[in-house]
Amino acid sequence: MSELDDFSDEAEAAAFYASLPSTRGASGAVIRSEQGGVMLVRRAYGARNWGVPGGIMEAGESPVAACRRELHEELGVHARILGPAVVDWVPARHPRTAALQWLFHTDPPDGSEIRLQAEELTEWAWVDPDDLHALLPAPTARRMAAALETAPGCGPAYLEDGRAVFG
């Protein structure tokens, strides 16, 4: 059985799928130091705020592939993904469309291996988890806090706009 079995022809199927809302995707990493800090990165563009290592998923790219690519592009590291931590549906806020934000637990890189991509990032730091709300936008801080409550291999937590839906 194929996806086209519900339609009379390919044109009808194409028209139906074109009418559906589009949702962006982004993928990031929850990276913890041995001392319990969380890695944050400072963007080199826009408001130059602190953020989570990661970025926008490209067309046809899976969330895991996007996380690996972004960590390699931004930090110069080949990360080992340990498992999903959080999936967060983010509502549309003009001019942005709705998005699914993925966070994955990853092994921490050796600090000496990190090579920041100058066009993307200006610095990185290990941050105390208690400081996330002071440094990150509220939904991102809530997303990271939820991810820290999820043990590697025991996720993901499902969120909507950074808030738990279940439990």
- The CATH class of 24-164 is alpha beta
Q: What is the pLDDT of residue 1?
A: 43
Question: Could you tell me the pTM of the whole model?
Answer: 0.85
What is the full DSSP assignment across 127-156? E-GGGHHHHS-HHHHHHHHHHHTSPTTS-P
Q: What is the DSSP letter of 93?
A: B
**Predicted confidence (pLDDT) per residue in 15-38, tens digit:** 888 887 778 999 999 999 999 999
**Predicted confidence (pLDDT) per residue in 68-125, tens digit:** 999 999 999 988 889 899 999 999 888 888 999 999 999 988 767 899 999 999 999 9
